Structure 1
Amino acid sequence: MSDAPFFVSSQAATQVFAWPEAIAALAQAYAAPPNPAATPPRTVAHDDGAWLRTLPALPSGGRYFGAKLMAMAPASAQPGVEYVIVLWDRETSRIAAFVDGHEVTALRTAATSAAALDRLAPPGPIRLGVLGSGLEATMHVRAFSAVRPIERLVVSSPTPARREAFAETAARDLGCAAEAVADGAAAVRGASVVLAAARSRGEQPILHGDWLAPEVAVVSIGSTIPAQREIGASVVAASDLIVCDTVEEVVEQTGDMLEAARAGIDFAGRTFSLHDLLAGALDERLAHAPRRLFKSVGGGLQDVVVAEVIVRRALEAGLTTPLPIGFDTKE
């Protein structure tokens, strides 16, 4: 079955993944003229506590298109979320691959943020303040190091052992000075780039506007639905330029922006799409915007673009698993 689909595991995906290639692919995808019909909003089906989320995309110029699906049934014996990216081949119109989306989700989120940061942060070394020490924070620090040298990193998170381990790993792997602190304000103080990658306990903001340096680029990725909070309304108020991967979803569906709107903050005239940023439409505005915010909720375009990069490399490395299955084709 030469046209049989194959599987790419998370282990294979991380083994072949390369930050520069993924970041460049995403920058190219977002700089292309947007086609809303090819990147529709995510959908969520839910019933009796169970839910299924779908993120479809047909990237322009790519060989593959498809969707990421994730679901959970809380009443199950082993509740948890599994992710799968299903890819169709434009050349054959057949299902080509199933990619485990767990690691890919963190990789594509960080690579997208790095593509944005490459335009939002001035050239040269950065001083990085990190709020959070989990998988997303880990991936983001590595992605950022692919577009900017990290001169110094200060991390804060609730668990001392985890933040200490995070700082030690960053210092070892990235060759930068790294420090762990208990206080979020101390982590952010004087930073030229701030990463907020952790929702708070109790959904209270973990980053506030008066903590920020006069010139700073902030990346926030931890609030993606109305009930979640990560950055305070004061951060939105302090930002001269706000860039979103999907403007409508960020503005209308994240708890951070909804709270800023309830606080009476008018950010509409300062809010733009990632396409605007990467296509160069904001170059003049950047010159007059010392405080810049990138806020991301993720999207199917990111999943499919990065999955294609991974699939191509996994095929070259012989790390795909052929599946002994075939699908009937409706003519």
Structure 2
Amino acid sequence: MTETTGPPWITGAEIFRRVGFRAAARAIDEALAGGLDPARDFDRGILDLDHGQLLLMPAQAARFAGVKVATVAPGNPALGRERIQGVYLLLDAATLGPVAILDGAALTTLRTPAVSAAAANHLAPAGIDRMVVFGSGPQAWGHIEAMRGIREIGQVTIVARNLGRAEDLAAQVRESGQAAGVGTAAHVGDAQLIVCATTARTPLFDGTLVPDDSCTVAVGSHEPDARELPSALIARAQVVVEDAAVALREGGDVIIPIEEGVVAAGSLVPFRSIVTGRIPVDRGRPRVFTSSGMSWEDLVVATAVFQAR
């Protein structure tokens, strides 16, 4: 009898050893510049469970296909467990045979900041004196590392509900050689780069304070009735989204302001149009990139990880 072995398991540590934030951001940018169209992505399945949500995220490309099965369990941190868990199954596109299984939580921790950094590389000012980060979890840390890959940053200011966790993250950032401290939402008033990576369901700051020459990234919400960004900022900003249809279905950051009448759905700019130069970046007002996560992003980064072996 011939023994068969299954696809290799790629741990979280191995994912980050193979592909860092800068390389993952470059892979996202190159995929969009090379013709990938997010509008052709499969819809993400979101199933409500008794203790959270089950997310199914399939995607396909020329050489590989894949699916991420992830769970979001809001009660897990209180039990000492991760809020987001999951696995990613990478397949050969021609045969649909499995070629690798990746740690899904680590993949998400890598790809979400990578997408944000790819967008901010187009939208953010060249000089970043202050970066304000809302949140203190893995995504907050990942976004700091990813943004440091595209810009030199003078000061990182952490804003979080849990002051102890904010202090811990600031200390971790300082240990890496980056100036960092804890602040308040008012610090957005002199920030050139703002990142929102929280579980908040209502706006985190006063949108009138945000400077015109700035970039704000929001990644915490994938529900139509939850948002991190205030309508006052959306009304002023050039708003860039992964895909307009997805944003209008899942993105409370834009759905709620549209319902309020402060912005038109037709004004949303697909990220692909920025990357390809079809729509120019408007440097005369704030730029916002709001993301709820799409399946093609996981496939792009999972492919980069697999090919880097």
Q: Aligned in 2, Cα 1:123/1:36: closer, same or farther, shift over 3 Å?
A: closer
Matches within 5 A, 1:268-283: 268-283=265-280
- Structure 1 contact 207–235 (Cα < 8 Å) conserved: no
Match of 1:144 among 147, 154, 168: 147
Whichever residue aligns with residue 236 of structure 1, its letter is I
**Structure 1 residue 15: deviation in Å?**
2.9
The structure with the largest alpha-carbon Rg is 1
**Corresponding residue for residue 136 of structure 2:** 133
Whichever residue aligns with residue 90 of structure 2, its letter is L
- Structure 1 contact 153–179 (Cα < 8 Å) conserved: yes
**Corresponding residue for residue 235 of structure 1:** 233
Following the alignment from structure 2 to structure 1, what is the Cα–Cα distance between the partners of residues 39 and 218?
Answer: 27
Moved more, 45-54 or 216-225: 45-54
5+ residue gaps, structure 2: none
Following the alignment from structure 1 to structure 2, what is the Cα–Cα distance between the partners of residues 274 and 233?
Answer: 20
- Structure 1 contact 198–222 (Cα < 8 Å) conserved: yes
Moved more, 265-274 or 20-29: 265-274
**Corresponding residue for residue 111 of structure 1:** 114
**Corresponding residue for residue 56 of structure 1:** 58
- Structure 2 contact 64–303 (Cα < 8 Å) conserved: yes
Which has the bigger relative contact order, CA under 8 A and spacing at least 6?
A: 1
Q: Aligned in 2, Cα 1:74/1:198: closer, same or farther, shift over 3 Å?
A: closer
Residues 242-279 of structure 1 deviation map (CA, whole Å, 9 limit, x = unaligned) = 11112222223222222212211123343111111111
- Structure 2 contact 68–87 (Cα < 8 Å) conserved: yes
**Corresponding residue for residue 246 of structure 2:** 249
Q: Aligned in 2, Cα 1:16/1:211: closer, same or farther, shift over 3 Å?
A: same
**Corresponding residue for residue 263 of structure 1:** 260
- Structure 1 contact 114–147 (Cα < 8 Å) conserved: yes
Matches within 5 A, 1:121-200: 121-173=124-176, 175-181=177-183, 183-186=184-187, 188-200=188-200
- Structure 2 contact 7–98 (Cα < 8 Å) conserved: yes
Whichever residue aligns with residue 30 of structure 1, its letter is L
**Corresponding residue for residue 298 of structure 2:** 303
Moved more, 250-259 or 112-121: 250-259
Following the alignment from structure 2 to structure 1, what is the Cα–Cα distance between the partners of residues 90 and 167?
Answer: 39
Following the alignment from structure 1 to structure 2, what is the Cα–Cα distance between the partners of residues 113 and 98?
Answer: 24
Moved more, 271-280 or 124-133: 124-133
Q: Aligned in 2, Cα 1:163/1:45: closer, same or farther, shift over 3 Å?
A: closer
Following the alignment from structure 2 to structure 1, what is the Cα–Cα distance between the partners of residues 82 and 285?
Answer: 44
Q: Aligned in 2, Cα 1:30/1:252: closer, same or farther, shift over 3 Å?
A: same
Match of 2:87 among 75, 80, 84: 84
- Structure 1 contact 171–178 (Cα < 8 Å) conserved: yes
State the SS of the aligned residue for 2:190.
coil
Following the alignment from structure 1 to structure 2, what is the Cα–Cα distance between the partners of residues 168 and 36?
Answer: 37
Following the alignment from structure 1 to structure 2, what is the Cα–Cα distance between the partners of residues 22 and 73?
Answer: 26
Whichever residue aligns with residue 121 of structure 1, its letter is A
Moved more, 66-75 or 1-10: 66-75
Match of 2:15 among 6, 13, 16: 13
TM-score when normalising by structure 1:
0.83
- Aligned-residue sequence identity (percent) comes to 27
- RMSD between aligned alpha carbons? 2.7
Q: Aligned in 2, Cα 1:117/1:293: closer, same or farther, shift over 3 Å?
A: same
State the SS of the aligned residue for 1:140.
helix
Matched positions, count: 304
Following the alignment from structure 2 to structure 1, what is the Cα–Cα distance between the partners of residues 19 and 291?
Answer: 21
- Structure 1 contact 38–58 (Cα < 8 Å) conserved: no
**Corresponding residue for residue 327 of structure 1:** none
5+ residue gaps, structure 1: 317-331
Q: Aligned in 2, Cα 1:79/1:275: closer, same or farther, shift over 3 Å?
A: closer
Q: Aligned in 2, Cα 1:74/1:172: closer, same or farther, shift over 3 Å?
A: closer
Q: Aligned in 2, Cα 1:150/1:40: closer, same or farther, shift over 3 Å?
A: same
Following the alignment from structure 2 to structure 1, what is the Cα–Cα distance between the partners of residues 52 and 160?
Answer: 30
